[in-house]
């Protein structure tokens, strides 16, 4: 699918593009992860001795010493259809992505995970995002399988409660549609690696509720560590935009960055508070967002007008998508 057409499709069915996250309402219990020896940085990028600082809020901040995610690394690629100027993060975040993708390649093989935007080199407002301003937010496309059940290059297709999706390519031409399946084992292993890693601390995994369910079912069936599953349950949340076509990861401020005015959104989990207390710091509340921190967001009407003619199957999928966009939350404590 062409980049422009893909971008339009991702907008349809919602009023705004994702990464706008309402504040969660409460905290959850405190699963305890066993300490692990941090893996060495992959050879694709020497991060030793590099420093970076995330400043202020995820939705109103900046980045000092931003580190570029490699365009290619073991098990990972930066989306060639995205602006490479938007691939900067803190050194901890970049290292965490490299370590997690290398683990998937090492254990399961297949095609690399496709990473979309992080932040600009110096942070600040970034087009089509409400956050991604301070080097701690990451969008990643899902690992996907093609019609033959084998890994296929990922696109920004959304997936239904059965883990099925379609790459519509030309929205008006039904003959070029490609059936897709969510690659649950690889997606879970990538998440597991991020959760268990000690390089950067995950705060949130924004993902559609029905995809969260598929991932949890797989993790339990594979006897994943109970502490990892509990942490995943706490970290995952479907915000107002469903995140049924990509993951959005948010990482906590490091203790060093907090000392320089890095600020976390809620929730700050009990285990993170303890980690910070051990380092002699406390989390800082968000600053009020400044007007100059806003970026241009394409509206639903603008996206629909740009889409032009669409095949009836595309329309059907967009109608189905409404079923889970506005689906009531099943009772977990802090998701909207």
Average pLDDT, the chain: 86
Weakest-pLDDT range from 33-37, 164-168, 221-225, 259-263 = 33-37
pLDDT for residue 15 is more than 70: no
Decide which of 4 and 246 is more confident: 246
Whole-angstrom Cα distance, residue 144 to residue 110?
10
Domain membership flag for residue 130 = yes
- Residue 99: pLDDT band (50, 70, 90) is very high
Sign of CA dihedral 321, 326, 328, 332: positive
Whole-angstrom Cα distance, residue 44 to residue 138?
19
Domain membership flag for residue 336 = no
Domain membership flag for residue 180 = yes
The pLDDT assigned to 35 comes to 44
Whole-angstrom Cα distance, residue 7 to residue 292?
25
- Residue 39: pLDDT band (50, 70, 90) is very low
pLDDT for residue 42 is more than 70: no
Residue span of the structural domain in which 119 resides:
3-20+54-325
- Residue 4: pLDDT band (50, 70, 90) is very low
Mean pLDDT, rounded, for 27-47: 48
Q: Which strand (E) or helix (H) includes residue 145? A: strand 144-145
Q: Can you give the CATH number for the domain in which 319 is found?
A: 3.30.1380.10
Number of domains present in the structure of the chain? 1
Domain membership flag for residue 321 = yes
> What predicted TM-score, i.e. pTM, was given to this entire model?
0.87
- Residue 300: pLDDT band (50, 70, 90) is low
Backbone φ and ψ for 138, nearest 5 degrees, come out as -140, 135
Domain membership flag for residue 48 = no
Domain membership flag for residue 241 = yes
Per-residue model confidence as pLDDT tens digits over 148-206:
999 999 999 999 999 999 999 999 999 999 999 999 999 999 999 999 998 899 999 99
Go through 48-63 and write b for each residue having 16 or more CB atoms within 10 A of its CB, e for each that does not: eeeebbbbbbbbbbbb
Domain membership flag for residue 30 = no
The pLDDT assigned to 262 comes to 97
Domain membership flag for residue 35 = no
């Amino acid at each position: 699918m062409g980049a422009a057409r893909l971008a339009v499709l991702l907008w349809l069915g919602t009023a705004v593009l994702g990464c706008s996250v309402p504040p969660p309402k409460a905290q959850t219990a405190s699963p305890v992860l066993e300490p692990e020896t941090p893996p060495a940085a992959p050879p694709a990028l020497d991060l030793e001795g590099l420093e970076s600082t995330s400043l202020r809020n995820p939705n109103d901040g900046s980045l000092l010493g931003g580190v570029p995610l490699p365009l290619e690394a073991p098990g990972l690629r930066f989306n060639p259809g995205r602006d490479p100027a938007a691939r900067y993060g803190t050194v901890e975040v970049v290292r965490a992505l490299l370590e997690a993708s290398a683990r998937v390649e090492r254990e399961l093989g297949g095609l690399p995970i496709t990473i979309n935007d992080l932040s600009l080199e110096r942070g600040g407002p970034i087009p089509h995002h409400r956050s991604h301003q301070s080097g701690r937010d990451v969008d990643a496309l899902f690992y996907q399988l093609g019609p033959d059940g084998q890994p296929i290059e990922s696109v920004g297709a959304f997936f239904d409660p059965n883990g099925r999706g379609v790459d519509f390519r030309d929205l008006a031409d039904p003959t070029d549609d490609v059936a897709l399946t969510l690659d649950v084992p690889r997606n879970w292993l990538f998440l597991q690696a991020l959760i268990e890693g000690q390089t950067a601390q995950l705060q949130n995994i924004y993902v559609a509720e029905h995809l969260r369910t598929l991932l949890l079912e797989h993790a339990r069936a594979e006897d994943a560590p109970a502490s990892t599953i509990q942490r995943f349950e706490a970290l995952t949340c479907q915000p107002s935009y469903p995140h049924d076509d990509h993951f959005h990861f948010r990482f906590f401020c490091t203790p060093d960055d907090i000392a320089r005015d890095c600020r976390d959104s809620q929730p700050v989990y009990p285990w993170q508070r303890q980690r910070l207390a051990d380092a002699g710091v406390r989390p800082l509340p968000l600053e009020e967002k400044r007007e100059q921190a806003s970026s241009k967001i394409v509206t639903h009407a603008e996206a629909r007008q740009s889409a032009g003619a669409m095949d009836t199957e595309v329309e059907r999928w967009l109608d189905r998508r409404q079923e889970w966009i506005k689906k009531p939350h099943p009772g977990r404590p802090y998701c909207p």
